[in-house]
A and B are shown apart, each in its own frame.
Chain A
């Protein structure tokens, strides 16, 4: 039930944002245009750090995986390759030597 309520709310705010822009005939103040530019940066960063450590005490090797992902993302901008590099680094370090 919570899921479908959340989904309904997501539809309202998403469609509302998309529709409002097409219906309005105004200019947004410059400050808020700049604010919106930074939203994905701030939100994506906020989605990375809290779940990076994990619950199994593997924080260090997960961090190495993140470094690998960041490097590949910087060079290639490819989502698939970046995730693959990070997971590969993580799995390799996980093998008990």
Chain B
């Protein structure tokens, strides 16, 4: 229960994010069941967001899965950090893994001696709120007539821009953001598939960032980072 309520302040960010995701997913042509299934089975905000947009552009399943992988592989870092501080055996390890998100990692990493019950409470809290927000947004999305004419497809790039801006704090981060934006635009003009530009740009941009910051010390995956980088 303490884990459940420890994450409550973060609901404030999760609820609008979940609603916007569901509206975009419905706009992209996904049914209510499909929109909700992504929240139940994948449970990863930014990956679900990008998948919704990619479904709308008719991207291949492979492109969507690769983009998801690229966005979610950072969880390896969280797991490595949590695994050193918490003993998880038997059913506890896959359970903890299934519901792991940036927010939960951030909150649990800030605890001096976290226990499994706290971790699971925080995880289930976020899972519940994310899915309720998805459900609400899915029905809200259905109530909007003719989204294309209203220009509602603009919500998609705007949402990612709003997620991107707070992440950019250093010069290297700014260079990567601008270079990636330009690269993706150029590739998108040359190809028709929505998934390819994202994956190619994601890898190229991240390599650029890692190279630009070479020689600098790496900190342990930080609380602040985890909270900034939304589910």
Residues of A within 8 A of B (CB): 2-3, 5-7, 9-15, 17-28, 30-52, 54, 56, 58, 62, 65-66, 69-70, 72-74, 77-80, 82-83, 86-87, 90-91, 94
Report which of B70, B84, B155 forms a contact with A87, defined as CB distance below 8 A: B155
CA A17 to CA B70, docked complex, whole Å: 10
The answer, yes or no, to whether B9 is at the interface (CB within 8 Å) is no
> Do A17 and B69 touch across chains, with their CB atoms under 8 A apart?
yes
Considering only CB atoms and an 8 Å cut-off, how many residues of chain B contact the other chain?
97
A35 adjacent to B209 (CB under 8 Å): yes
Distance in angstroms between the alpha carbons of A20 and B163 in the assembled complex: 26
Which residue of chain B lies nearest to A9 when distances are taken between CB atoms in the complex?
B65
Collect the chain B residues with CB atoms within 8 Å of residue A17's CB.
69, 72-76, 79
Residues of A within 8 A of B37 (CB): 7
Once the chains bind, are A39 and B80 in contact (CB under 8 Å)?
no
Contact A19 B157 (CB under 8 A): no
Interface check B51, CB cutoff 8 A:
yes
Pick out which of these stretches binds chain A: B42-50, B107-115, B124-132: B42-50
For B53, the chain A residues whose CB sits under 8 A away are 47, 51
Partner of A10, one of B42, B81, B153, B176: B42
Mark out the residues of chain B between 130 and 171 whose CB falls within 8 Å of any chain A CB in the assembled complex: 151, 153-168
Inter-subunit contact A46/B184 (CB<8 Å): yes
What secondary structure prevails in chain A residues at the interface with B?
helix
**In the complex with contacts A2-B61, A77-B166, A79-B159, A10-B68 CB distance below 8 A:** yes
User: In the complex, are the beta carbons of B160 and A47 less than 8 A apart?
Assistant: yes
Given A12-B65, A17-B75, 12 more pairs with CB closer than 8 A: A17-B69, A23-B79, A34-B213, A36-B74, A36-B206, A37-B210, A38-B205, A42-B206, A46-B180, A49-B185, A83-B159, A87-B151
Closest to B149 in A: A56
The answer for the CA separation of A80 and B176 in the assembled complex, in Å, is: 25
Task: Find out whether the CB atom of A21 lies under 8 angstroms from the CB atom of B161.
Answer: no
Contacts of B203 in A (CB 8 A): 42
**B209, A38: Cβ atoms closer than 8 Å:** yes
Contacts of B182 in A (CB 8 A): 49
Contacts of A72 in B (CB 8 A): 162
- Bound CA–CA A26/B55 (angstroms): 36
**CB <8 Å contact, A3 and B47:** no
Q: How far is the CB of A75 from chain B (nearest CB, A)?
A: 9
A14 contacts which of B61, B72, B158, B210 (Cβ < 8 Å)? Answer: B72
